Structure 1
Amino acid sequence: MPDAPDSPPRYRDKPVSFVRRSGRMSDGQERAWTDLSSTYVIAVERDAAATSIRPGSQIDPATAFGRTAPLVVEIGSGQGHAIVHAASTRPEADFIAVEVFRAGLARTMLDADRAGVKNLRLVEANAPEVLQHLLPEASVDEIWIFFPDPWHKAKHNKRRLIAPAFPPIAAHALRDGGTLRLATDWEDYALQMRDVMTDAADFTPAFEGEWAERFDGRIMTAFERKGIAKGREIRDLAYRRAPRTARTA
């Protein structure tokens, strides 16, 4: 039955920042999913689509990890190289990897298991819905978005994740003073990111000058090396979540 005309808009009525391809997983990735997903993957309730999150299905991060600790969320974690390294070197914090490609999540679990990482969980879902519906308000200390799909063709720019609708969603999940970290190797997307965040009422820059210093908590991945090899400059941005009490109704 179609939604009533006055129903709230659903995410699948809007462009998403990914195209979910049904690539076949390797035998090792299939085994990882079977053997390790119960340890690492957070089970979620779905809404309209396979990667959606049902509104009202919020989790308690302390329950998911068995403790209360600073929480870092990486959106578009890919093969998991950055977040597995971060989780293994920062045992005092907890990490959530958000990714829509199951093969990448399987690889992440394999590497996390080999490294003995216990402070990492995975969510297979559309990132804005994770921030808005799955995680409690003000529960996240840092959100990382490194090298999101640039959708560099003009007709596809509407699919870019960092657009005016995104900062309020990130602000909802971040605690006051929490950090949103961005990086891209596409200049026009970097400029768009900066313009969007400059206009975001809930954020203030956490850097001086045109661009932030390279985040030293991000390891150099093959993806970043590829961009550099093609002559593209890597640009970082970082923003602080403004105190909620500083805003007026």
Structure 2
Amino acid sequence: MKFPAGPAPDPAGSRGEHRIRSFHARRGRLTKAQEAAIDRHWARWGVELDGSPLDLAELFPAPDGGRLPVVVEIGFGMGDATAAMAAADPGTGILAVDVHTPGQGNLLALADRSGLTNVRVANGDAIVLLRDMLPPASLDGLRVYFPDPWPKAKHHKRRLIQPEFLALVTPLLRPDAVVHCATDWEPYAEQMLQVLTAAPGLVNRSGDTFAPRPPSRPLTKFERAGLAKGHVVRDLLFVRT
């Protein structure tokens, strides 16, 4: 399905360069509701990660004339947890990034159904967003929940949480902004802990270990399924100093 005014297959074009990517763009099969949500709402709530600087005040205006604090979420799946967090915290803008078209459509439909005005759905490479599109000290948080663990050793270089990634993220964070990661893949959790602990400008809120799941992060269907199989879910919360 092609959307003349919807998410583009490759919004950044050559800006993606030839580096290793931690994702694969996926169009997938859309339901009629997802397709209708993209047709109706992409022009207003969709963001193409094409490398052009973003005006966060325009994307997330506040009632007082300023802008909402903004959190970037990378990889939101079908968007159920994102919509729940947006509904629970309407005073925070969520810039939700993914490349899965059915998930994009589903989150747009959830936002419309719930009357959410603080969610924007970003299509494309999160690295382009972080590297080229946001000014320093502009974010109040980053969320990365259940990223692909790339379990084979030869694929570990594709994991998102790496020193190079955090070097892009940290300058974008305001003081006291929170980086919140979660995974149910124990080896990846250990790597995340090591990489985040070593990152300059970030401090572990739980000392030197993992954090309990905060109530602000809803359980997802994926997570419940993992817990039912005996998986151990690890949360990591680091604060920008």
Instruction: Indicate whether the TM-score tops 0.5.
Output: yes
Describe the superposition over 1:205-246 as per-residue Cα deviations: whole angstroms up to 9, x where unpaired: 11135211212111111011111111110011111112xxxx
Per the alignment, residue 214 of structure 1 pairs with 213
Q: What is the 5 A alignment of 1:25-44? A: 25-44=30-49
Deviation at 1:22, TM superposition (A): 3.3
Paired with 2:224 and 2:17, the residues of 1 have a C-alpha distance of 34
Instruction: Give, as a single letter, the amino acid of the residue that structure 1 aligns with 2:176.
Output: G
Paired with 1:93 and 1:22, the residues of 2 have a C-alpha distance of 29
Which runs of no fewer than 5 residues in structure 1 stay unpaired? 1-8, 47-53, 243-249
Q: What is the 5 A alignment of 1:167-206? A: 167-206=166-205
Which runs of no fewer than 5 residues in structure 2 stay unpaired? 1-13
Paired with 2:57 and 2:122, the residues of 1 have a C-alpha distance of 16
Deviation at 1:122, TM superposition (A): 1.0
Instruction: Give, as a single letter, the amino acid of the residue that structure 2 aligns with 1:203.
Output: L
Contact 1:131 1:172 (8 Å CA) reproduced: no
Structure 1 residues 100 and 212: alpha-carbon distance in aligned structure 2, compared to 1, 3 A threshold: same
Deviation at 1:172, TM superposition (A): 2.2
Per the alignment, residue 129 of structure 1 pairs with 128
Instruction: Give, as a single letter, the amino acid of the residue that structure 2 aligns with 1:150.
Output: P
Contact 1:132 1:172 (8 Å CA) reproduced: no
Q: What is the 5 A alignment of 1:1-249? A: 11-44=16-49, 46=50, 54=51, 57-67=52-62, 68-242=67-241
Superposition TM-score, scaled by structure 2 size: 0.88
Deviation at 1:32, TM superposition (A): 1.2
Paired with 2:34 and 2:172, the residues of 1 have a C-alpha distance of 31
- Is the partner of 1:130 in helix, strand or coil? helix
Describe the superposition over 1:158-212 as per-residue Cα deviations: whole angstroms up to 9, x where unpaired: 1100012111111122112211001000000000001111211121111135211
Contact 1:167 1:202 (8 Å CA) reproduced: no
Contact 2:184 2:233 (8 Å CA) reproduced: yes
Describe the superposition over 1:65-91 as per-residue Cα deviations: whole angstroms up to 9, x where unpaired: 223121111110111111111111111
What root-mean-square deviation, in Å, do the aligned CA atoms of Structure 1 and Structure 2 show?
A: 1.6
Instruction: Give, as a single letter, the amino acid of the residue that structure 2 aligns with 1:18.
Output: F
- Is the partner of 1:79 in helix, strand or coil? coil
Structure 1 residues 10 and 94: alpha-carbon distance in aligned structure 2, compared to 1, 3 A threshold: closer
- Is the partner of 2:47 in helix, strand or coil? coil
Paired with 1:229 and 1:115, the residues of 2 have a C-alpha distance of 29
- Is the partner of 1:14 in helix, strand or coil? coil
* Identity within the alignment, %: 38
- Is the partner of 1:13 in helix, strand or coil? coil
Contact 1:132 1:173 (8 Å CA) reproduced: no
